[in-house]
Amino acid sequence: MSFWLSGTGVAPTGAPKDAFLGDFSVIPDGTVASASIKSFVLVEKEKGFDGLPEKYYQIVYKLLDGEFKSREVTQKIKCFYGKPEQIQRGLNMLKLIMQLCEFKPTHNDAPQDLELIPMLNKIVSVKIGEWFMKNKKTGEDMNGNNIREVHASGAIPTETGIKAIVEHKPTSSVESAFSRNAAMPVLEADLPF
């Protein structure tokens, strides 16, 4: 086999569209697209981001249409730990996705990875959101995407959302002349001239 055919077996074109790396920036808030379920697994971690144990379902969707076609977005369904209302919302989302995929569990326990396989490659419509947070350890701003809504395939039109704007608030508590003087009242009537 030729060196020039060692990738996919197709001769390279050298065209910019075939050579440049795709865009991996955050997908704008409110974007809607059809999506295929690429993976659906139960994740268990001894220590999550906050140091506590985590257990949740993770679904990876591959977008099938729209401006961000072929991009992947991950959904975490947290229905094991948290406040009762959060657990209930997670259980409702899990059941909704199962209904949309025409999947019916065979028992009352939490579905395991092998049981979730029939939902792979099922097509749904997803509404994508943006999330923002500050890393408590490094102070860095972090952002990414999540899945806000899941609907039947074609139930909502494909559209590109609008990039969310994050307002950065000063994290320093250092007082400046500007912050001190901004609170002082104007004494126009007491001026002697």
The pTM for the full model equals 0.74
Distance CA 145, CA 26 (A): 6
pLDDT tens across 53-76, in order? Answer: 889 999 999 999 999 999 999 999
176/173 Cα distance (integer angstroms): 9
CA angle 149, 108, 55 (to 5 degrees): 55
Domain parsing of the chain, residue ranges: 23-170
Distance CA 76, CA 55 (A): 10
Q: What percent of the chain has pLDDT over 70?
A: 81
Q: Are 145 and 129 in contact (CB under 8 A)?
A: yes
Tell me what pLDDT residue 191 has: 46
The listed range with the strongest mean pLDDT (62-66, 131-135, 142-146, 181-185) is 62-66
Question: Is CATH 2.40.50 correct for 23-170?
Answer: yes
**Mean per-residue pLDDT, 158-179:** 66
- In whole angstroms, what is the distance from residue 159 CA to residue 29 CA? 11
Give the confidence band of 181 by pLDDT, cuts at 50, 70, 90.
low
Instruction: Flag whether pLDDT at 177 surpasses 60.
Output: no
Please tell me which residue, 163 or 73, carries the higher pLDDT value: 73
